[in-house]
């Protein structure tokens, strides 16, 4: 019943100062291993699919630690390649109230993934073993080789009739000056190959340079997403609108555009414990709904509840089971469960 799903992408080592300490105050760091692909696939594995990661990890104790922790998250290692000696890292200092969280990336371009040689992966052989694959726009920002890997993998999947999902996930700091202009052709290549796309109106406006007649983000979403879907032949598009409230709560509303119509979740409002990776939980919910044949209304509500719960656990990676998500779709917050 479960599908065979992979993600292609970099594994990041997250090094987090304890509590609300700054790096210049603390003397210990918690560490875990994540990344868009890790987060999406771990959630799908928890939902009952066979989850794989296609990536390259260093062949040293850091790579061993990453591999062990990915296994713990339920991600099969069969398609993981080992080589190189470096892993992407980011340091996280948790914000509090008026002080925003701070993320410091380091060692990213030198990572085993971003320096994988051209023939590091046998994409044809890999594609044979999969029903669906998830890609992320962050990989497009790295270098020509990772872009080439990504496109070849997407084409191999497409050639075998597999499902291609693509999360636009544009990060301005990674693209630098004139980033939108440089990114557009690569994004367009991926959009043409993708069946399911995570995006919202900002991606259409900025990356694709599409003009909008309307002004609110809700209106622009309904104006632009159908154009994107039709222009690039995308069967389903999904995304969220987030609002950051003053009292440590966020508001989140998900959408799913499919078969010419929009479905929305309720706007969920909730306290935030760990915000990072919540977008990936939303993507995992959309993919699970689509792979499992949920009604679109159920898919969007499931994905929004998955995203909400991902804000309530530590780490980038969603930890909620399908049973917990379904309960969160229907219940209000309650007393202790015992």
Q: Which of residues 95-114 bind a copy of itself (CB under 8 A)?
A: 95-107, 109-110
Identify the residue among 2, 21, 158, 210 touching a copy of itself (CB under 8 A). 21
**Taking CB under 8 A as the rule, which mask of x and - marks residues 34-63 in contact with a copy of itself?**
--------------------------xxx-
Dihedral angle over CA of 322, 328, 333, 338, nearest 10: -30
Identify the residue among 177, 178, 259, 335 touching a copy of itself (CB under 8 A). 335
276 binds a copy of itself (CB under 8 A): yes
> How far is Cα 130 from Cα 125, in angstroms, rounded to an integer?
10
Distances (CA, A) of 205 to 26, 173, 211, 243: 41, 18, 6, 19
302 binds a copy of itself (CB under 8 A): no
Scanning 4-12, 199-207, 228-236, 319-327 for contacts with a copy of itself by CB under 8 A, the matching segment is 319-327
Beta carbon nearer to a copy of itself, 2 or 226: 2
Cα angle at 10 between 9 and 13, to 5 degrees?
A: 150
Beta carbon nearer to a copy of itself, 148 or 248: 248
> How far is Cα 203 from Cα 239, in angstroms, rounded to an integer?
11
**DSSP structure class, residue 107:** S
> How far is Cα 34 from Cα 258, in angstroms, rounded to an integer?
30
Q: Minimum distance from CB of 107 to a copy of itself (Å)? A: 4
Beta carbon nearer to a copy of itself, 71 or 182: 71
Identify the residue among 39, 55, 69, 220 touching a copy of itself (CB under 8 A). 69
Q: Minimum distance from CB of 41 to a copy of itself (Å)? A: 14
Site for a copy of itself in 218-257 (CB under 8 A): 242, 244, 246-249
81 binds a copy of itself (CB under 8 A): no
Beta carbon nearer to a copy of itself, 20 or 175: 20
SS (H, E, C) 209-259: CCCCCCCCHHHHHHHHHHHHHHHHCCCEEEEEEEEECCCCEEEEEEEEEEC
Dihedral angle over CA of 77, 142, 184, 5, nearest 10: 0
Identify the residue among 2, 4, 29, 83 touching a copy of itself (CB under 8 A). 29
Q: Minimum distance from CB of 233 to a copy of itself (Å)? A: 32
Site for a copy of itself in 123-182 (CB under 8 A): 171, 173
326 binds a copy of itself (CB under 8 A): no
Site for a copy of itself in 171-190 (CB under 8 A): 171, 173
Cα angle at 32 between 299 and 290, to 5 degrees?
A: 15
Long-range CB contacts (within 8 A, 24+) of 259-267: 259/296, 260/226, 262/222, 262/225, 263/296, 263/297, 263/299, 263/300, 264/300, 265/300, 265/301, 265/303, 265/304, 265/305, 266/301, 266/304
Site for a copy of itself in 256-275 (CB under 8 A): 268-273, 275
78 binds a copy of itself (CB under 8 A): no
Beta carbon nearer to a copy of itself, 101 or 235: 101
Q: Minimum distance from CB of 60 to a copy of itself (Å)? A: 5
Residue 143: φ, ψ to 5°: -160, 175
Cβ atoms of 36 and 138 within 8 Å: the answer is: yes
């Amino acid at each position: 019943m479960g599908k065979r799903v992979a993600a292609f992408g970099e594994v990041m080592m997250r090094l987090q100062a304890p509590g609300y300490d700054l790096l210049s105050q603390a003397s210990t760091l918690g560490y875990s291993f994540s990344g868009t692909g890790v987060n999406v696939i771990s959630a799908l594995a928890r939902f009952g699919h066979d989850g794989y990661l296609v990536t390259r990890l260093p062949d040293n104790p850091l790579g061993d630690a990453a591999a062990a922790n990915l296994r713990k998250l339920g991600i099969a290692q069969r398609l993981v390649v080992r080589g190189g000696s470096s892993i992407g890292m980011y340091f996280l200092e948790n914000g509090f109230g008026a002080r925003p969280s701070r993320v410091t990336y380091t060692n990213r371009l030198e990572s085993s993934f971003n320096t994988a040689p051209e023939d590091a992966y046998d994409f044809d052989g890999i594609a044979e073993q999969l029903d669906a694959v998830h890609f992320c726009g962050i990989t497009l920002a790295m270098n020509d080789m990772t872009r080439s890997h990504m496109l070849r993998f997407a084409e191999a999947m497409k050639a075998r009739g597999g499902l291609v999902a693509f999360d636009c996930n544009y990060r301005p700091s990674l693209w630098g000056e004139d980033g939108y202009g440089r990114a557009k052709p690569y994004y367009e290549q991926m959009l043409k190959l993708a069946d399911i796309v995570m995006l919202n109106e900002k991606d259409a406006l900025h990356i694709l340079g599409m003009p909008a007649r309307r002004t609110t983000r809700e209106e622009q979403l309904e104006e632009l997403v159908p154009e994107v879907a039709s222009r690039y032949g995308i069967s389903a598009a999904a995304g969220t609108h987030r609002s950051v409230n003053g009292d440590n709560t966020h508001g989140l509303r998900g959408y799913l555009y499919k078969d010419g119509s929009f479905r929305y979740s309720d706007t969920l409002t909730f306290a935030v414990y760990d915000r990072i990776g919540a977008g990936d939980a939303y993507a995992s919910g959309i993919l699970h709904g689509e792979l499992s044949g949920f009604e679109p209304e159920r898919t969007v509500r499931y994905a929004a509840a998955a995203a909400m719960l991902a804000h309530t656990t530590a780490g980038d990676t969603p930890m909620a089971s399908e049973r917990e998500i379904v309960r969160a779709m229907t219940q209000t917050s309650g007393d202790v469960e015992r």
